[in-house]
Structure formats: C-alpha cells, structure tokens
Structure 1
Amino acid sequence: MTRAFNFSAGPATLPESVLRKAQEEMLEWNGAGASIVEMSHRGPEFMAVAAKADADLRRLIGIPDDYAVLFLAGGATTQQALLALNFAQPGQTVDYVLTGHWGKTAIKQVTPYVNVNVAASSEANGFHDIPARDTWQLSADAAYVHITANETIHGVEFRDTPDVGQVPLFADFSSSIASEPLDVSKYGLIYAGAQKNLGPVGVSVVIVRRDLLERAGQPRADIFNYRSHVARDSMLNTPPTWNWYLAGLVFE
C-alpha cells in the first residue's frame, strides 16, 4: 500500500502511527475482549480513555484549570448555533467580525436567536484582509464578540488576539488549533472541529471559561446545554467514542 500525499482542505492526514495503533486495537482494546466502539462509554475502560484525552489536550494546548473541555458530536457549525443559546439572552446583541466564508456561516447559525451586530467586515473587498481594529463598531452590552481565527477558504488569519475589552472573545479555531502556541486565557470560548488538527471528523472540541457557564442563556433542550455536558463529562448522551479515542491518540 502506498499512502498518498494528502493536501485536502477537508479532513486532514492523521499520523501513520495513530492509524496503525488504531488498526491494531480495532478488534480488541487493551485486553478488554472488545473494541473501543463496542464498550460502554460510561464503563471504566472508556472513561480512562476520555480522561487521558482531556489531560493530554490540556497539556498540549496549555488549557488553564478554570476552563472546561468538551468533546461533542457534530461539527463546528453545530457549536456555532449553540453559542447564542447558551451565552446570550433572547434578543441580546452579539458582535461578529466577518472575515470570510466561515464567519458568514457562524452568523447564519445564530441569527434566529439574537440581534447580530456585524462589528466589522471585509466582505466588500472580497475578504482579502482583517478590518483594522480601530474601525470595529463593538456593542457595549454584547454577550460576546466572535471571530474566525483562520478562514481557510479566503486565507485570512488573525495573527494576534484582538483586544475586545471586558466582553468575552469567542473564536472558531477549527483549522489552526494546536498548530502553534495559543494563550487560551485571552478567550472566553474556543471551539474547533477536530478534523483539521486534532483527529478525525465527527467530534468537536469546546474550551470554555467556567464562569460563563453560569449564564442563563435561552430556553433550550438539555442536550443543547453546555453546562449539562460539562456536568456529565461530555457523556450526556452517547458520544462518538471512536473519534474521541482517535483524537486522544493524536494528542499523545
């Protein structure tokens, strides 16, 4: 077998060592008599896998203790919709800085729930740059400010963390998380689909400052409540165990 060079803008290449270890353990994981996808996600075997993945990601990125880490099913687009439900009151203003395709997607997901203020946009010039910080029209009472850290389609990336004052900064880091040092403490929330840098498609990572979880947000089903997911260690419902397991191998 000859593996191709994979420069896909979608699911990225996984390390061959990860794929081979997963291959070896597909029929039986760690002498348990079953594969990781056949075990209970609340059994001690998988709980150990999940705990190690959490610890390894915290070490890899440098996540402070006052931040919770969630491993959730669905892509980053799902998380975009949940931001407003969890952290903004009905009708409250949220600020979005629009620098490309994925920023437009993020705005689309929250529009039904909140008042979206596009504080700055580079759409008029084809998303060729990031609007200068002194041109941003931020709302004094915004629930949060949202940026897309790296727009893969338009090739625009924030190289520095913008200062948005006391309002929490939320960021989509799907394509650049873990690619270089990151000061998590400058953000209220970071989210990312795993398939670029953290593992296989099918699981997302949410890193959220714990005090923000106390916000009432909007009426929502419990399954859409980040606070409930944190309380159950990302196992409020059956998680994507195989994807979580593979991501954990990447973190090692």
Structure 2
Amino acid sequence: MASSASLKTHIELKDFLDEKVVLYNNPKFIESDPIQIPHQFSLKEDVEISGFLTATIAWGNRKMIINNAKKMMLLMDESPYDFVLNHTEEDLKAFDSFVHRTFNAVDLRFFISALQQIYKQDGGLESALKPRQAEASYQQSISRFKSVFFKHQHPQRTEKHISDPLKNSAAKRINMFLRWMVRKDQVGVDFGLWKSHNSSLLSCPLDVHSGNVARKLALLKRKQNDWKAVSELDLALRRMDSKDPVKYDFALFGLGVFEKF
C-alpha cells in the first residue's frame, strides 16, 4: 500500500504535469509544431495522409521538418488523398529532388504507392493501424501495420522508416501520428478523427526531450529510449490519467524543449 508521503508526492506531480498540459496543449502549440501540416486540411483522408507523411520525417530540426513536409504537400498538389489514389508514374518524377535527412525520393515514391494500396485494399490508415480487441497498447498493431505496408515489392532501404515495436523500437514518430489521429482534446490541437480507436491505449512519443524529463521526474528509470521504456512510462502516465495518458506528452515535451527542464 502506498504511504501517505508517496501518495502526496504522486498528487503533487500530477498537479504539476496537469498545469503544464494546460500550458502547452493549446492552439498556439500548432504554430511551431509539425502538426500544423495536417491542420491545413479538412478532408479526413487528407489529414491522415499529410499527418502520416509529416510524422514519418519528424526527426531533426523542427523548422526543417515543417519546410520539407510543406514541400511534400506541394508535390502532391495540396491534395494528398487524391494524389495517392490517382497519381501516375509520370507524376512521381517530380519527387526526384526530394530529401529529408535519410528519407529520400526513393522512399517517398514507395510510401505513396504503399498508401495507395492501404486505401484501396486495406480500408485506409485508420483500419490498418487499429489494435485488436484484447490488445492493451499499439505495440502489436504497429508491427502488423509495418508488415502490411511492406507486403509488396519495395526497396530494402525504405523499411527503416517505419519502426517495429516488437523489435523494441520506441516507434516515436508513429506514436506521435497516432496521438494526432486518435486523441480528442478540447482545444483543437489533436484531431480525434479515428472514432474506432481508443485513446487509453496510446503511448507517449518517447524522444530525447520527453525521456530526459520523465527520468528527472522519476516517471522512468530505464536509460534507453526503446519500447521497454515506452511501456514503463505508459504505466506511470496511465496511473495519472487512464483515459487520456498521452496528454502528458505535451507536458514532458514542453518542459524539455521550451523550459529546458
């Protein structure tokens, strides 16, 4: 049984983090974050595809991520869903000069064709990423999604751009994309588009910033940012809010990036 001192500490920490969620989970957050890209669209499939492609390149400098995500949208005529469904080989030649760090034109061209197959054959991204009934997180569903995504012939090099939590990857970028699509907040940052999903199963997109802050706050002991660490942090965050644990991503990220906590 928890001692009164540890209970008090838990309540104080929750209050502290809840305040930070309110501070950072607001529309101003969108202005400097890659989530601004899917916010340019209103059609569900446009939001999904733009969000997925933006999250895929979301590592490194945030301004560079946003600029390169904008370039991708321009290359798709600002209509990502229509482009994914109806593009021709000729259309894809425009992608030849695209590069974001190690994600290049070869990768982007395959991602477009894989997304076409997912929307035409697999019920779209919402269906392809949905956990099964007994699953308590997205670990299995992300791994299954990777298999579906790469089921057709593909460049070997492109596989590294979708993580596999069953191989102990923290899968930060796809967890971030899932937060965007599944979590319904009250202020219009995350979209809550995927009604068939459950936000209680979401995991924190664990990166250097959120990991370091979580360790300083004793929410996480594990040193590596891998899926074992994600699972450990899940337990701590779900104790504070079992229905919306990943709202604390705003607190951890904000403390790390904006406050250098």
TM-score between the two structures when normalised by the length of structure 1: 0.31
- Which structure is richer in relative contact order (CA contacts within 8 A, separation 6 or more)? 1
TM-score between the two structures when normalised by the length of structure 2: 0.30
Greater share of strand residues, 1 or 2? 1
Greater share of helix residues, 1 or 2? 2
